[in-house]
Structure 1
Amino acid sequence: MLTLVLGGAASGKSEYAESLVLKTALPRYYLATMQVWDAECAARVEKHRKMRAAKQFKTVECPLHLDAVRLPARGTALLEDLGNLAANELYDPTGAGENAAAAILRGLDLLAAQCENLIVVSNEVFSGGADYAGDTGRYLRALAQVNNAFAARADNVVRVVCGVPVYYKGVEP
C-alpha cells in the first residue's frame, strides 16, 4: 500500500505518518533524508534515531540516490521527507540536479517494490498561491512534480492540517 502524507510546516504530518507505521507489523524502516552538515545536525539525528529505535524502527540513511536503497526484508517503510530529498538531489554536487524529480520517482518505484507499505511524508507546496522565482521556484516545481506523480500512484493521499488528517484519496486504515 502506498500512502502520501502532505502538510505544511508543523502541521503534524510526521507524527501522523509515524502513527500509521506503528499500526503495521515488523519490520519497520525509517528512511532518513536529512544530510548531516555539522555537530548540531549530528546530535539531532542521533536523538531522533534513539526515539525511533524505541518504536522498533530500523533507520536507513538515504539523503541521496533513493534508487540505491535495498531493504533487508519486506515490511513498512516511512520516508521522511520528500522536501529534504528533493533539495539534496537538486543541490548536492553528487545529486541528480535537473533530473531530481525523475530520479526520486524512480527511487520511490524501486522502494515500493520492496515494501508491504510505503508511507511518504512531503511538504505541501503552492497552496499559498505565491509566485516564486529562481532556485526557490525550481525546487518547488521539482517537489510538486514528485508529489503529484506519487499521489497519482498512491492508494491513499492525506493532508494533515493542525494535526487533523483529511483524506483526499483512499481511507484511513
Structure 2
Amino acid sequence: MLTLVLGGAASGKSEYAESLVLKTALPRYYLATMQVWDAECAARVEKHRQMRAKKQFETVECPLHLDAVRLPARGTALLEDLGNLTANELYDPAGAGEAAASAILDGLSQLAAQCEHLIVVSNEVFSGGAGYAGDTDRYLKALAQVNNGLAARADAVVRVVCGIPVSYKGAKS
C-alpha cells in the first residue's frame, strides 16, 4: 500500500504518518532525506535517530538517489520528506537537476516495490502567496510534479490540517 501524507509546517503530518507505521508489523524503515551540512544538522539527525530506534525503526539515509536504496527485507517504510528530497535532487551537484521530479518518482516506484507499505510525507506549500524570490518557483514546480505524480499512484492521500487527518483518496483516516 502506498500512502501520501501532506501538510503544512507543524501541521502534525509527520506524527500522523508515524502513527500509521506503528500500526504495522516489523521491520520498520525510516528513510531520512535531510542532508547533514554542519554540527547542528548532525546533532538533529542523531536525536531523531535515537527517537526512532525506540520505536523499532531502522534508519536509512537517502538524501539523494532513491533508486539506489535497497531495503534489507519487506516491511513498512516511512519517507520523510519529499520537500527535502526534491531540494536535494534539484540543487545538489550530484542530484538529478532538472530531471529531479522524474528521478524521484522513479525512485518512489522502485522503493514501493520493496515494501508492504510505503508512507511518504510531503509539504503542502502551494496555498501561500505568489511572486517568490529567486529560484523558489523552480523548486515549487518540481515539488508539485512529485506530489501530483505520487498522489495519482497512491492508494491513499491524506492531508493533515491542525493535527486533523483529512482523507482525499483511499481509506478514511
TM-score per shorter chain, which class?
Answer: over 0.9
Map 1:15-164 → 2, pairs under 5 A? 15-132=15-132, 134-164=134-164
Partner AA of 1:72 in structure 2:
P
Cα distance in 2, alignment partners of residues 62 and 144 from structure 1: 20
Runs of 4+ in 1 over 2 A off after TM superposition: 128-134
TM-score normalised to structure 2 length = 0.97
How many residue pairs are counted as aligned between the two chains?
Answer: 173
Cα distance in 2, alignment partners of residues 113 and 139 from structure 1: 27
Matched position secondary structure for 1:35: coil
Partner AA of 1:92 in structure 2:
D
**Unaligned stretches of 5+ residues in structure 1:** none
Cα distance in 1, alignment partners of residues 10 and 136 from structure 2: 20
Cα distance in 2, alignment partners of residues 81 and 128 from structure 1: 19
Offset, 1:128: 2.5
Matched position secondary structure for 1:167: strand
**Unaligned stretches of 5+ residues in structure 2:** none
Taking only the aligned residue pairs, the percentage that are identical comes to: 87
Any idea what the Cα deviations from partners look like across 1:11-33, whole Å, max 9, x if unmatched?
Answer: 00000000000000000000000
Offset, 1:171: 1.5
Cα distance in 2, alignment partners of residues 16 and 153 from structure 1: 20
Partner AA of 1:14 in structure 2:
S
Matched position secondary structure for 2:127: coil
Cα distance change, pair 133–40 in 1 and its aligned pair in 2 (3 A): closer
Partner AA of 1:42 in structure 2:
A
Cα distance in 2, alignment partners of residues 8 and 130 from structure 1: 16
